Amino acid sequence: MTAALLPRFAAGTLPRLRQPSVLPGFGLTLGFTLLYLSAVVLVPLGALVAKAAGLGISDFAALATDPRTLAALRLSFLAALAAASINAVFGVLVAWVLVRYDFPLRRVVDAVIDLPFALPTAVAGIALTALYAPNGWVGQYLAPLGLKIAYTPLGVVAALTFVGLPFVVRTVEPVLRDLDRDVEEAAATLGASRRQTVFRVVLPALLPSILTGFALALARAVGEYGSVIFIAGNIPYVSEIAPLLIVIRLEEYDYAAATALAAEMLGIAFLMLLTINLIQAVGRRRLGRHA
Amino acid sequence: MRRNVEPVASAAPLDRPAKSGLEARDPARRRWQAPTGERPAVRRLLIAAALAFLGFVLVLPLVLVFVEALKGGVGVYLAALADPDALAAIRLTLLVSAIAVPANLVFGLCAAWAIAKFDFVGKSFLITLIDLPFSVSPVVAGLVFVLIFGSQGALGPWLSDHGIDVVFAVPGIALATIFVTFPFVARELIPLMQEQGTGDEEAAISLGASGLQAFRLVTLPNVRWALLYGVLLCNARAMGEFGAVSVVSGHIRGVTDTMPLHVEILYNEYAFPAAFAVASLLALLALATLLLKSLLEWRHGGGLKPRRGH
Amino acid sequence: MDISIRRLRKEFDRYPALHGVSLDIASGELLALLGPSGSGKTTLLRLIAGLEFPTSGAVFFGAEDASQKSVRERNVGFVFQHYALFRHMSVADNIAFGLRVRDRATRPPEDVIRRRAAELLELVQLPQIGNRFPHQLSGGQRQRVALARALAIEPQVLLLDEPFGALDAKVRKELRRWLRELHERTGHTTVFVTHDQEEAMEMSDRVVVMGQGRIEQVGAPDEIYDRPASAFVHGFIGDSSALSVTVDRGEVFLGRRSLGPLAAGLPDGPARMLLRPHDLELTAQSAGAIAGRIAAVRRHGGARMIELEVGDKGERLEVAVPASTPICPEPVQAFRPLRWQIYPAG
């Protein structure tokens, strides 16, 4: 329908919905894009929303505020927040080291950063579990210190840290690379120490990109499932994440509870997407168009 | 003032020609600080901290997969891979990604053409919608298809009456995989094609090329490396997807198990060497993806990623 | 604060950017470092500031050797070519930065810092913009803010790298006059880098002409223009044409024609004679004159430019005559040089 309407608007009497162009194929490609987007993403998600709405307000509220559900959501969110914070700190450090310093195997390190994008989450999950289990390569040295990572909420944080690692690095890296060195030189001529220059000049300039990376890592981590379920221990109210609870409800054929929780998570996802766009818009406004 | 008292030539110790090389420079270097660099000690400390973090979070788990897989010896390793259920899982994984990747490739090209080469109302909203699957939990992605096509769903009963099973069968797995890998190709292409603008295509059309010819002869060569890059990432995710597929597959061994699901089953059965053996195949896939990606970046770095900031 | 530069040499990856340069800058002077790109002028400025470390040589601030000091200890005000303002800080915070980063013992109280920032904005004639952000300012405003920020630390020396390079012509002209006035009022020792000879000539007390990592000439603008020390300076400053001539016992020959004993004291052999367009006079006599075929006549402001083809090599000589001069019907004309410079070739 949209495609059929467009030529009429382009003729000029109505406000233009698209700028005229000599290139062909707009109607066809946009039409297909919208169709495919609707079929694969929008209609299925709409079905979820419709199903959740069909539950009625009181039923939905009861299911959504069920203590086990809330505990699972809280764990998913807090663990994701902790992991994204770890990644914000170390992501900036890694981006800094990659952009500013030269060291052996720099290119290999650069390539390895993207491993969480390429390695299936289940593989990451069993590997991290084996690594941080009390008898694992790393876990055996932590156990005597009373530090248990696998099968605790800490394990959730560890898995989510793995999953979210590339986001901060990859959003900060290009901004840091484009940062003009003369700004740092200016700070030095004005008497700032290197530490003052980094903390008052460089990091504030990177802040929008750090926040974007943080939000992306957070959004990804809140919904993460595969890498977490192996290492979490999955004890209800303690180390049970929200996506796992959806799966459990489904296995119990409790579609209503699964739907309510899924709708909540979808709402959180929308909120994150909105936040990310907001951060970028504010960043652009504060720092000018070339931010 | 000093100028008048001391003639240039007698500005004593400094006028001595500097001793060659490091011995003349070194003592001074200790006091003078480059305005945009850190001291070597600080630099080494930061590099060490970054590498240690990456080592514990990324490298050790990767190494561990291969060590655990080969723990029982090569014989056990190969036997685990030759197991009929493992082979069935490999076949299904290949089949699903052979469906999902081309589907999203066609979509990515269409979406990128419409978005990058034309200006229209609601464009940025459309881009946001395309990004949506990135932030939806894979479990939710699987769930929506169960809700539609499952036995309780809207279309499920009607379809199964006509002999079509979606959930707990290949179509459901493929749909869930398409959902989670939906943005990959489009997201690689859109920024690059937006940056390249429409000049080249307009020139081709003004020279008499048809729209399809302009696309094939001008647009595609301009974006081929980014396209390959997007396909690589899409494929890695399609083969490795766990959460969404886990919800719709029903875990029927040898029938609806993909490789990641097979890893889970073996792991839960405490068949660790076999689990890690199958996992090592997936890890090799990840390494191959990273290697190809790095090669692409090193050789075609300029054209691959849009330069940010401008 | 006077500055002495002693045999300063700088190599980048073994490639010399500056070959042992010595220079004295008087207190309160406004000095221009002028040269084409790659002449080492910016390197010299950055070495004075301490942004680079010399391969050898030294920089004195007054009697004190500043060579060992880092840039933050040198207390120089540096204005960067692209201003290098901190984008995430307001204009007032930008100006106050240098005071706020001082350690507690020397840092003024916050209200003093704020007052000082306001005064500096007043000084650069932008009193109302303290709360704005750099990206909301025009190029000329950014330039002034960068200058105010550099002045905030009460620098001993003010260094400016291509201060007007990124501005359009009209703003540039305004700012030049304004900066000159500001300099007269504040009296800072000021060094600025430029590749624009007009800018250097108009603004500075003395001009340092640089080429290929060396100082070619130091002098007042008039001196540089009227008595260029080398063919390079002559060619770089103002318009000029070069002719290949031969010197034989002080007598200058253009081809086989003698121009007279113009080069007393110069070694025999090939040389280059440089002439400015206004330093030639139309003449009817042929003795001692440069004769040539008129290749082109152009109108150039209040003057008429004649391009003269001279000698059998076809070298071109530009001559400016008043616009009222009738263009001669004869294709061959003779001009008498009024002022010239002759430099040994090579």
Sheet holding C303-310, edge to edge: C280-283, C332-337, C290-300, C303-310, C315-322
Average of pLDDT values for A180-207?
A: 94
Same-domain status, A201 and A244: yes
Average of pLDDT values for B40-63?
A: 95
* R_g of chain C computed on alpha carbons: 25
User: Is the separation of the CB atoms in C294 and C287 below 8 Å?
Assistant: no
- Closest Cβ opposite residue C102 in set A186, A187, A191: A191
- Closest Cβ opposite residue A30 in set B114, B247, B285: B114
Same-domain status, A153 and A37: no
Average of pLDDT values for A35-55?
A: 92
Instruction: Phi first, then psi: give them for residue A25, nearest 5 degrees.
Output: 90, 5
Domain count, chain A: 2
Strands C76-79 and C157-161: parallel
User: Is the separation of the CB atoms in B143 and A262 below 8 Å?
Assistant: yes
Can you give the pLDDT at residue C346? 67
Residue % of chain A over a pLDDT of 90 = 73
Mean pLDDT (chain A, rounded): 89
**Partners of residue A225 in chain B, C-beta under 8 Å:** 137-139, 242-243, 246
Give Cβ neighbours of residue B13 (< 8 Å, ≥ 6 apart).
Answer: none
Average of pLDDT values for A230-247?
A: 92
Residue B21 has pLDDT above 50, yes or no: no
Q: Is residue A2 part of a domain?
A: no
Least confident span in A16-25, A142-151, A156-165: A16-25
Q: Which two tokens stand for residue B98?
A: 């052979």
ipTM: 0.88
Can you give the pLDDT at residue A288? 60
Same-domain status, A41 and A110: no
Buried b (16+ CB within 10 A) or exposed e, A167-206: bbbbbbbbbbeebeebbbbbbbbbbbbbebbeebbbebbb
Can you give the pLDDT at residue C254? 87
Q: What are the pLDDT digits (tens) for B205-255?
A: 989 888 889 999 999 998 998 899 899 999 999 999 999 999 999 888 888
- Minimal C-alpha gap between B99 and chain A (Å): 14
Written in H, E and C, the secondary structure of B128-179 is HHHHHHHHCCHHHHHHHHHHHHCCCCCCHHHHHHCCCCCCCCHHHHHHHHHH
Can you give the pLDDT at residue B171? 92
Name which residue leads in pLDDT, A228 or C174. A228
Can you give the pLDDT at residue A16? 65
Please indicate whether, in this complex, the C-beta atoms of A187 and C101 are within 8 angstroms of each other: yes
Q: What is the pTM of this model?
A: 0.86
Q: What are the pLDDT digits (tens) for B157-209?
A: 888 888 888 888 999 999 999 999 999 999 999 999 998 888 899 999 989 88
Longest dimension (CA), chain C: 81
- Closest Cβ opposite residue A191 in set C72, C88, C133: C72
For the domain spanning C3-231, the CATH number is: 3.40.50.300
User: Is the separation of the CB atoms in C224 and C211 below 8 Å?
Assistant: no
Q: Is residue A16 part of a domain?
A: no
- Minimal C-alpha gap between A257 and chain B (Å): 12
The SS3 of residue C21 is: strand
- Minimal C-alpha gap between C150 and chain A (Å): 7
**Partners of residue A118 in chain B, C-beta under 8 Å:** 233, 236, 240, 285-287, 289-290, 293
What are residue C209's DSSP bridge partners? C34, C217
Chain A, 138 to 197: residues with Cβ < 8 Å from chain C are: 180, 182-183, 185-193, 196
- Closest Cβ opposite residue A45 in set B51, B144, B282: B144
Residue B1 has pLDDT above 90, yes or no: no
Least confident span in B30-39, B291-300, C21-30: B30-39
Q: Where in the sequence is the domain holding A112, given as residue range(s)? A: 57-284
Strands C280-283 and C332-337: antiparallel
Among the listed residues C152, C128, C136, the one whose alpha carbon sits nearest the alpha carbon of residue C88: C136
Can you give the pLDDT at residue B135? 86
The SS3 of residue C35 is: coil
Same-domain status, A245 and A117: yes
The single-letter DSSP state of residue A147 is -
Q: Return the residue in C9, C56, C61, C215 with the most chain B beta carbons within 10 A, the one to mutate for interface testing.
A: C56
CB burial of residue C5 (10 Å; 0-12, 13-18, 19+): buried
Instruction: Give ranges for CATH 3.40.50.300 in chain C.
Output: 3-231
Q: Is residue A96 part of a domain?
A: yes
Among the listed residues B142, B206, B200, B223, the one whose alpha carbon sits nearest the alpha carbon of residue B175: B142
CA distance B145 to B166: 9
Q: Is residue A3 part of a domain?
A: no
Distances (CA, A) of B258 to A166, B141, B232: 26, 17, 19
Q: How far apart are the first and last CA of chain B?
A: 50
Q: Return the residue in B51, B144, B213 with the most chain A beta carbons within 10 A, the one to mutate for interface testing.
A: B144
Please indicate whether, in this complex, the C-beta atoms of C98 and A190 are within 8 angstroms of each other: yes
Q: Which fold has domain C241-344?
A: OB fold (Dihydrolipoamide Acetyltransferase, E2P) (2.40.50)
Q: Return the residue in B71, B97, B140, B190 with the most chain A beta carbons within 10 A, the one to mutate for interface testing.
A: B140
Give Cβ neighbours of residue C300 (< 8 Å, ≥ 6 apart).
Answer: C320
Same-domain status, A40 and A117: no
The single-letter DSSP state of residue A101 is -
The amino acid occupying position B148 is I
Q: What are the pLDDT digits (tens) for B246-293?
A: 999 988 888 889 999 999 999 999 999 999 999 999 999 999 999 998
Same-domain status, A131 and A272: yes
Q: Is residue A65 part of a domain?
A: yes
Q: Which two tokens stand for residue B136?
A: 């939806």
- Among left, alpha and beta (phi > 0; psi -120 to 50; other), residue C327 is beta
- Closest Cβ opposite residue B2 in set C53, C57, C62: C62
The residue with tokens 């004005």 is A190
- pLDDT bin (cut points 50, 70, 90) of residue A15 is low
Same-domain status, A141 and A216: yes
Instruction: Phi first, then psi: give them for residue C69, nearest 5 degrees.
Output: -80, 140
CA distance A40 to C212: 65
Alpha helix positions (H), C17-90: 41-49, 71-74
The residue with tokens 């089953």 is B265
Q: Is residue A143 part of a domain?
A: yes
**Partners of residue B32 in chain C, C-beta under 8 Å:** 50, 53, 67-70
- Among left, alpha and beta (phi > 0; psi -120 to 50; other), residue C78 is beta
Instruction: Extract the residue ranges of chain C whose pLDDT is less than 70.
Output: 327-329, 346
The residue with tokens 């430019």 is C305
CA distance B169 to B166: 5
Same-domain status, A65 and A30: no
Residue B304 has pLDDT above 60, yes or no: no
CB burial of residue B63 (10 Å; 0-12, 13-18, 19+): middle
Among the listed residues B141, B123, B133, B101, the one whose alpha carbon sits nearest the alpha carbon of residue B230: B101
Same-domain status, A215 and A172: yes
Q: If you average pLDDT over each of A225-229, B6-10, B204-208, which comes out highest?
A: A225-229
Containing C203, the helix (H) or strand (E) segment is helix C197-203
Same-domain status, A44 and A64: no
Among the listed residues C271, C291, C213, the one whose alpha carbon sits nearest the alpha carbon of residue C10: C213
Can you give the pLDDT at residue B301? 64
Residue B7 has pLDDT above 50, yes or no: no
Q: Is residue A289 part of a domain?
A: no
Query: What is the chain C residue with the closest CA to A289?
Result: C135
User: Is the separation of the CB atoms in B213 and B244 below 8 Å?
Assistant: no
Query: What is the chain C residue with the closest CA to A187?
Result: C98
Residue A35 has pLDDT above 90, yes or no: yes
Same-domain status, A45 and A65: no
The amino acid occupying position A53 is A
Interface A-B, measured as beta-carbon pairs within 8 A, has a size of 304
Q: What are the pLDDT digits (tens) for B83-140?
A: 999 999 999 999 999 999 999 999 999 999 999 999 999 888 899 899 889 889 999 9
CA distance C250 to A78: 92
Mean pLDDT (chain B, rounded): 85
Chain B, 15 to 74: residues with Cβ < 8 Å from chain C are: 15, 17-18, 24-25, 28-29, 31-35
Residue A11 has pLDDT above 50, yes or no: no
**Partners of residue B34 in chain C, C-beta under 8 Å:** 53
Among the listed residues C195, C200, C213, the one whose alpha carbon sits nearest the alpha carbon of residue C40: C213
Give Cβ neighbours of residue C292 (< 8 Å, ≥ 6 apart).
Answer: C308, C309, C310, C311, C317, C332, C333, C335
Average of pLDDT values for A156-171?
A: 95
Q: Is residue A175 part of a domain?
A: yes
Distances (CA, A) of B276 to A112, A132, B253, B263, C228: 20, 16, 18, 7, 81
Can you give the pLDDT at residue B22? 39
CB burial of residue B10 (10 Å; 0-12, 13-18, 19+): exposed
Q: Check CB contact of B198 with chain A, cutoff 8 Å.
A: yes
The amino acid occupying position B29 is R
The SS3 of residue C243 is: strand
Instruction: Give ranges for CATH 2.40.50.140 in chain C.
Output: 241-344
CATH number where A130 lies: 1.10.3720.10
Half-sphere exposure of B52 (CA within 13 A, CB side): 7
The SS3 of residue A144 is: helix
Please indicate whether, in this complex, the C-beta atoms of C97 and A187 are within 8 angstroms of each other: yes
Same-domain status, A49 and A118: no
Beta strands per DSSP E along chain C:
3-12, 15-25, 30-34, 56-61, 64-65, 76-79, 157-161, 189-194, 206-211, 214-219, 241-248, 251-254, 257-260, 269-275, 280-283, 290-300, 303-310, 315-322, 332-337, 341-344
Alpha helix positions (H), A67-225: 67-100, 106-112, 115-118, 121-132, 139-142, 153-178, 181-189, 194-196, 203-222
Distances (CA, A) of A217 to A72, A159, A267, B178, C308: 19, 12, 17, 22, 73
